[in-house]
Amino acid sequence: MIMSQFEEYCTKFVQAVGNKEGAVSPSIVNSASFAYGTPQIAEGIFEGNVKKPLYSRMGNPTSARLESTMAQMDGGIGAVVTSSGMGAVSLAVMSIVSAGDEIISIGGLFGGTYALFSETLSRFGVQTHFFDVDALQDIEAAINEKTKIIFLESVGNPNMKLPDIQAIIDIANRYGIATMLDNTITPLSIKPLKLGIDIAIYSTTKIISGNASALGGCVVYRAIQDEDKFRSSRYQDLHKIIQKMGKGALIAIAKKRAMRDFGMSANAHASYQTMLGLETLPLRVERITQTVESVVKELDKQGLSINHPALHQHPHHQRYLKDFQNGCGTLFTIDMGSKEKAFEFLNTTKIATLTANIGDSRTLALHMASTIYRDFDEDTMDFLGITPGLIRISIGLENPQDIIKDFLASAR
């Protein structure tokens, strides 16, 4: 496994989070509101000419520090942090779409995102078409003048499918449609903006924070160019903001068309905790992705039904080797064959913590059909790859041999 890019991130994160003068740890600015001093300054802040905090729903100094580090991490022009990963998905999507628009969604999505698209947004007149990652022809055929977003995740959770991200970007660019990638596995695995994705989305709750200490999300935006898909007639209703704000317009669009009115704002304390997580992210990702590979290979060898693209029988194994050289995150699944067997495993394991989270320092496990996916009908479960015996595992920092031993004993 090539780890050279991680060195760059190690330096970037610790240097960005710590201060060289005064308090080394970033300060937490807990104030909800900010005093302007004079009416002239107040006017300037509201005009946007004076760069001072307006009100914490619209931006907070501690969160701004995290935003700048996250934007640097992805090579974006800026970022907006949110109260949760779902807050980030909502911010990114709702700042672009209006009633009558359509979304193309690719892959087996995170449950909350699937419900947002299939239930909530459809109540507001936004229709989503869902496709398997490899249905490229159908995806292209579904594009029409109402299509505003092509949305995908860098790795299917929990179906472990890997999209051909470049092929999907090429289709989107041919028709001038905005691409959004939920890259919760972080740019240490996949670098969305470098690949040509327009908008990168993160649940920072997961591996970025890394220890269940803070709920959070983030959307990273690229700069608007002189020739840009967002300047086409498809995105007519964004043009006023783009004309006024130029390069940084996508940030203004997110704040004015979603954050201000829906209020999914991050709080300063969570942003601070998230920065502490970022400092050690490269070390944890390196450790965990190596452990994932050794655990899945050993469990597979011992005859367990394991789903992970590092295994040669996985349909996207070649894509994994080519496009995911730094691994694809913390997850894999075990199919125990039945709910009873799955429960037996979960009642026996001493290593795994049973919880709906992923990307923690600890190894986590959850039976899918009886928890997160319990409200979905059979067809949807099928599409999302949820079988009765399916357990999702998120690998942590423990000794890989301890995990293997515990899992083999629990699967007997």
Give the interface with ligand PLP as residue ranges (CB under 6 A).
Answer: 84-86, 89, 110, 112-113, 153, 157, 182, 184, 203, 205-206, 215, 217, 358
Distance from C-alpha of 156 to C-alpha of 153, rounded to nearest angstrom: 6
Instruction: Return the beta strands (E) in 275-405 as ranges.
Output: 306-307, 331-335, 353-354, 364-367, 390-394
Nearest approach, Cβ of 111 to ligand PLP (angstroms)?
A: 9
* Nearer residue to ligand PLP within complex by CB, 182 or 298: 182
Question: By the 8 A CB rule, do 294 and 159 touch?
Answer: no
Nearest approach, Cβ of 116 to ligand PLP (angstroms)?
A: 10
Nearest approach, Cβ of 277 to ligand PLP (angstroms)?
A: 13
Distance from C-alpha of 168 to C-alpha of 186, rounded to nearest angstrom: 19
**SS in 3 state form for 97-126?**
CCCCCEEEEECCCCHHHHHHHHHHHHHCCC
Nearest approach, Cβ of 185 to ligand PLP (angstroms)?
A: 8
Distance from C-alpha of 54 to C-alpha of 232, rounded to nearest angstrom: 32
State both tokens at 232.
Answer: 């086409």
* Nearer residue to ligand PLP within complex by CB, 223 or 369: 369
Nearest approach, Cβ of 189 to ligand PLP (angstroms)?
A: 12
* Nearer residue to ligand PLP within complex by CB, 89 or 199: 89
* Nearer residue to ligand PLP within complex by CB, 143 or 328: 328
Exposure letters 191-212 (e unless 16+ CB within 10 A, then b)? bbbebebbbbbbbbbbbbbbbb
Nearest approach, Cβ of 303 to ligand PLP (angstroms)?
A: 29
Nearest approach, Cβ of 49 to ligand PLP (angstroms)?
A: 34
* Nearer residue to ligand PLP within complex by CB, 270 or 299: 270
Cβ-proximal residue to ligand PLP, closest one: 85
State both tokens at 106.
Answer: 């690719």
**CB under 8 Å to 305, separation ≥6 — which residues?**
334, 335, 336, 337
Nearest approach, Cβ of 304 to ligand PLP (angstroms)?
A: 24
* Nearer residue to ligand PLP within complex by CB, 60 or 186: 186
* Nearer residue to ligand PLP within complex by CB, 231 or 308: 308
Closest to 260 (Cα-Cα) out of 248, 270, 252:
252
| Element housing 342 (H / E) | helix 339-348
* Nearer residue to ligand PLP within complex by CB, 81 or 238: 81
* Residue whose token pair is 């709080």: 267
Task: Tell me the residue type at 281.
Answer: L
* Nearer residue to ligand PLP within complex by CB, 143 or 218: 218
DSSP state of 227: S
Instruction: Return the beta strands (E) in 66-213 as ranges.
Output: 78-82, 102-106, 127-131, 147-153, 178-182, 199-203
Nearest approach, Cβ of 88 to ligand PLP (angstroms)?
A: 7
First to last CA, the chain: 31
Nearest approach, Cβ of 323 to ligand PLP (angstroms)?
A: 17
* Nearer residue to ligand PLP within complex by CB, 26 or 156: 156
Q: How many CB atoms lie within 10 A of CB 71?
A: 21
